[in-house]
Amino acid sequence: MKDYLPMDGIAMKTLFTVGSLLPAVGIGILCRQVILKPIDWLTFAFGFTLAAVLHCNLIASAIIACFFALINYEIQQAKASKPAIAGGSAADEEEEDI
């Protein structure tokens, strides 16, 4: 097989070039599935930046992102569960004036 497809031949160079593009295709497919709004680019890029700066793999970055998502979820639930301030009735306002 090596005799028919030498490493410096055009066929092997083409296969290596196409093979080196596969990670870019995978990230493109992931972006198409995950990113729905323009603001999602920030969180997506933050994950890859986190992986590059902290020298951790993407699994560790995903675990860190899960903690941030959990904190964000708890904050959103706390905001939603706050009771609305009642406007009060006219009788309440009269009692306060006295």
What is the share, in percent, of the chain residues with pLDDT greater than 70? Answer: 81
- Please report the pLDDT score of residue 75 as a whole number: 93
Residues 6+ apart with CB under 8 A from 34: 40, 44
Taking the chain, what is the end-to-end CA distance rounded to the nearest angstrom?
100
Q: What is the pTM of this model?
A: 0.45
Domain boundaries along the sequence of the chain? 1-34, 36-81
